[in-house]
C-alpha cells in the first residue's frame, strides 16, 4: 500500500511519468514542442501558461491520451491514472447520478464511494443528477471520482475552474490532502497564469515550449498579494512569479535577454533556476503578453 511521502522533490519516490523532448503537432503546426517533464510519487507539478500554450496537450500526452509526434513519454508500468479533464459535457439525455459517476471507469464498493464523496465534501450530493450540479460541485464530484481509483498519478486540468475564491482555496487544500494521504503524484494545470498551489514542488511555465521552471516563490508576505486575496488564503495559494529570459516577437522570432534574435526558442534556451529574486518592477505578465 502507498505510504505517506515527503513532498519535497529531492526525497520523492519512484518516477511515475517522464517526458523527453516531447512534441505534438496538428496539421503542420506544433502545439507544443521540446517538453521535458517528470512527475514522481508524492510530487505536485503545476503547468501554467497562457491560453493555447499547450498545457492540456502536454498533460494529455503525459497520460497517453495523445501520442507525441516527436520525443518520447515513459510511464511507469501498470501506472494507474486518475484524470479530471478540463471540460466534461454530459448530455442531458444521459441520466447519471453523482453516485453512478463514481463507478464510471471501475467498480467500487459503496463504502469506498461514500468515503471519496465525503472527502471531496459532496457526500450530500450522492443521489443528485450530475446535470443539476453547480460548477464547483461538479468539479468536486469529478475529483472524488478520480481519487476513488486510488491512482498513482492524478492529473487535474484546471481543477478549480468555475469555483469561487473560497471554494478554490478549499479545493487546493483537498488536493494537497489527497497527495499527503495517498502519496500519489499530481500533475495539475492552473487556470490562472500566476496563481499556483503553495504545495507545488515544481512549476512549469509553457508557451508552446517550456519557458521556465522552478519552485514557486512564496509571496505570502507580499503586501499586494495580501491585499488581493486576503491573509487567510495565503496558506493554500501562492503567487509564482516567473522571469522570462526571452520574448516572443510578433513575427514568430524570439528575442533573448542578451538582445540576440533567433528563429526559434529551443527548449534549452528557457531553462533557468529560480534561485534569484525576481525583479518585482517587471511583472511577468508583460513578458507573456508580448507575443
Partner 1 sequence: MLDDFFTRALVAGVGLALVTGPLGCFVVWRRMAYFGDTMAHSALLGVALSLVMEINLMVGVFLVAALASVALIIMERRRALSTDALLGILSHSTLALGLVMVAFMTWVRVDLMGFLFGDILAVSKLDIAVIYGGGAVVLGLLIWLWRPLLAATVNTDIAQAEGLKPERSRLIFMLLMAAVIAIAMKLVGILLITALLIIPAATARRFAGGPEMMAVLAAIAGALSVIGGLTASLQFDTPSGPSIVVAALALFLVSLMPSPRAGTDDRATETKP
Contacts with partner 1, residue ranges (CB under 8 A): 60, 63-65, 81-83, 85, 87-97, 100-101, 104-107, 129-133, 135, 138, 149, 155, 161-162
Min dist CB 72 to partner 1, Å, is: 18
19's CB contacts (< 8 A; 6+ apart) are 35, 36, 37, 38, 58, 61, 62, 68, 71, 72, 73, 74
Min dist CB 135 to partner 1, Å, is: 6
Min dist CB 10 to partner 1, Å, is: 29
7 vs 85, beta carbon nearer partner 1: 85
89 vs 250, beta carbon nearer partner 1: 89
Min dist CB 80 to partner 1, Å, is: 8
Min dist CB 35 to partner 1, Å, is: 18
118 vs 132, beta carbon nearer partner 1: 132
86 vs 217, beta carbon nearer partner 1: 86
Is the Cβ–Cβ distance between 142 and 86 less than 8 Å? no
138 vs 229, beta carbon nearer partner 1: 138
Write out the three cell numbers for 48.
Answer: 501554467
Min dist CB 17 to partner 1, Å, is: 12
96 vs 257, beta carbon nearer partner 1: 96
**Residue whose C-alpha is closest to residue 182's, from 136, 140, 146, 236:** 146
Is the Cβ–Cβ distance between 127 and 117 less than 8 Å? no
DSSP 129: B
Which 3 state secondary structure label does DSSP give 110? helix
Quickly list DSSP for 10-60.
GG--SEEEEEEEEEEEETTEEEEEEEEEEEETT-EEEEE-STTSSHHHHHH
Cα(269)–Cα(79) distance, integer angstroms: 32
Amino acid at each position: 500500500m502507498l505510504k505517506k511521502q515527503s513532498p519535497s522533490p529531492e526525497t520523492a519516490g519512484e518516477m511515475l511519468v517522464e517526458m523527453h523532448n516531447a512534441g505534438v503537432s496538428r496539421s503542420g503546426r506544433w502545439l507544443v514542442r521540446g517538453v521535458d517533464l517528470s512527475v514522481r510519487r508524492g510530487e505536485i507539478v503545476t503547468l501554467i501558461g497562457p491560453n493555447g500554450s499547450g498545457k492540456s496537450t502536454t498533460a494529455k500526452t503525459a497520460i497517453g491520451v495523445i501520442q507525441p509526434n516527436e520525443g518520447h513519454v515513459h510511464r511507469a508500468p501498470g501506472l494507474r491514472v486518475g484524470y479530471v479533464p478540463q471540460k466534461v459535457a454530459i448530455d442531458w439525455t444521459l441520466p447519471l447520478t453523482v453516485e453512478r459517476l463514481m463507478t464510471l471507469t471501475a467498480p467500487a464498493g459503496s463504502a469506498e464511494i461514500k468515503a471519496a464523496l465525503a472527502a471531496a465534501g459532496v457526500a450530500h450530493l450522492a443521489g443528485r443528477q450530475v446535470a443539476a450540479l453547480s460548477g464547483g460541485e461538479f468539479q468536486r464530484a469529478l475529483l472524488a471520482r478520480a481519487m476513488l481509483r486510488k491512482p498513482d498519478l492524478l492529473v487535474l486540468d484546471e481543477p478549480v475552474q468555475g469555483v469561487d475564491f473560497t471554494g478554490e482555496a478549499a479545493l487546493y487544500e483537498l488536493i494537497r490532502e489527497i497527495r499527503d494521504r495517498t502519496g500519489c503524484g499530481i500533475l495539475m494545470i492552473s487556470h490562472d497564469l500566476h496563481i499556483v498551489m503553495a504545495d507545488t514542488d515544481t512549476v512549469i511555465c509553457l508557451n508552446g515550449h517550456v519557458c521556465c521552471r522552478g519552485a514557486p516563490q512564496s509571496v505570502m508576505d507580499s503586501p499586494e498579494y495580501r491585499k488581493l486575496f486576503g491573509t487567510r488564503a495565503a496558506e493554500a495559494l501562492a503567487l509564482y512569479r516567473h522571469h522570462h529570459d526571452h520574448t516572443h516577437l510578433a513575427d514568430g522570432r524570439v528575442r533573448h535577454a542578451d538582445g540576440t534574435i533567433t528563429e526559434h526558442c529551443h527548449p534549452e534556451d528557457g531553462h533557468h533556476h529560480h534561485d534569484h529574486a525576481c525583479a518585482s518592477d517587471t511583472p511577468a505578465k508583460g513578458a507573456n503578453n508580448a507575443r
